[in-house]
Amino acid sequence: MSIETDEPNWGHPTKSQVRRDTTQAERISGIAWLTIGALFCLFVCVLYIGTRMTFGSVNIPVPWPILFAPFMLYVLSSTALLWTENKLIAGIPLAAWVGGFVILAAWPALPLGGDTVVPGSLWSMLLMIFGMVGGSLPLLTRFSFDPPTVEQ
């Protein structure tokens, strides 16, 4: 049984690694598509943050984007780490989501701004916090419980 040196953990169920058989253009386009996905996630979250359900005569807020955003941004950040080992580059989709959120929240105060896009509510603040936490978890230094392997 031979071990390939270019991808030593290929097929390992608990270890992810960056694919090394891709070109720089493929890696750039991969991060670009993940950034587009993050901006689409932002669009969906801002659009549905004010979701309410009516039961009889009672309106109940159902801010499901607060649960959707961290999950989606976690997946996008984890996928970005499969395209590059550089965590700053892998954080570009998260930075685009946070930057877009800030721009949309400040939109009414901008000189060319217009109507309020992000409501000024607790749900919006929680969306921002949960989204940032969910997207940054994969980018933090990962610790392993496996003992380090020493090659002799």
Q: Which of 83, 78, 90, 87 is nearest to 22 (CA)?
A: 83
57 within a domain of the structure (yes/no): yes
CB-based contact 135:70 (threshold 8 Å): yes
5 within a domain of the structure (yes/no): no
d(CA 93, CA 79): 10
Range scoring the smallest mean pLDDT among 3-7, 114-118, 142-146: 3-7
The β-bridge partners of 53 are 60
> Strand, coil or helix: what is 122?
helix
12 within a domain of the structure (yes/no): no
Dihedral pair phi/psi, residue 54, rounded to 5°? -105, 125
pTM for the structure as a whole: 0.80
d(CA 46, CA 87): 26
The β-bridge partners of 20 are none
In terms of residue numbers, what domain contains 83? 24-139
Sign of CA dihedral 152, 146, 78, 142: negative
CB-based contact 63:51 (threshold 8 Å): yes
**pLDDT value at residue 29:** 94
Q: Which of 37, 53, 46, 67 is nearest to 124 (CA)?
A: 46
- Structure-token pair, residue 126: 């929680």
Q: How many domains does the chain have?
A: 1
- As a whole number, mean pLDDT of residues 33-56 equals 94
pLDDT at 93 over 60: yes
Range scoring the smallest mean pLDDT among 23-32, 114-123, 137-146: 137-146
97 within a domain of the structure (yes/no): yes
pLDDT at 36 over 70: yes
Range scoring the smallest mean pLDDT among 32-46, 52-66, 106-120, 123-137: 106-120
16 within a domain of the structure (yes/no): no
Dihedral pair phi/psi, residue 136, rounded to 5°? -90, -15
pLDDT at 127 over 90: yes
What share of the chain in percent tops pLDDT 70?
Answer: 79
- As a whole number, mean pLDDT of residues 123-141 equals 92
**pLDDT value at residue 107:** 87
6 within a domain of the structure (yes/no): no
The β-bridge partners of 60 are 53
